[in-house]
Amino acid sequence: MTPKLKIREVTIAPHALTIMESFTPTEQEKAAIRNVIEQLGREDIPPKPSPTKQRSGPWQGYRIAFLEPPTYRIDVGRFNIQYRFDDTHVDVGYIGVYA
């Protein structure tokens, strides 16, 4: 029997989308960002080791040091996504470009 996948509810802050749009992403970048955000809600992706040996975010991102509650970052091309998560939710608070 195949194990049932647990899916987290993903919430994107409206200002995160506004910030993303201000950098005029291409259609390919938008598709890549949507794909990564969708994957953040899944639990079946194996953990990716952190260079600092800290636990990865929902199996992809790296913890941003010194932020409480813990915040994670994942890079998607020139964009990066910052998010927090628990067992049932992923909250995306920022999608943008760092110069």
DSSP secondary structure string, 39-82?
A: HHTBS-SPPPPPTT-PPPSSSS-EEETT-SS-EEEEEETTEEEE
Identify whether 73 is part of a domain: yes
Residue 49 pLDDT level (bands cut at 50, 70, 90): low
- Whole-number Å distance between alpha carbons of 99 and 96: 10
Q: How confident is the model at residue 24 (pLDDT cuts 50, 70, 90)?
A: very high
Q: Is residue 1 part of a domain?
A: no
Q: With respect to residue 34, please indicate whether it lies within any of the assigned structural domains.
A: yes
Instruction: With respect to residue 3, please indicate whether it lies within any of the assigned structural domains.
Output: no
Which pair of tokens denotes residue 55? 């636990």
> What's the total number of domains in the chain?
1
In the DSSP assignment, the letter for residue 86 is -
- Look at the block and give the residue holding tokens 């992923």: 90
Asked whether residue 4 is domain-assigned, the answer is no
What CATH number should be reported for the domain holding residue 76? 3.30.2310.20
Domain containing 57 equals 9-96
Residue with tokens 């991102």: 61
Confidence of residue 70 (pLDDT cuts 50, 70, 90): confident
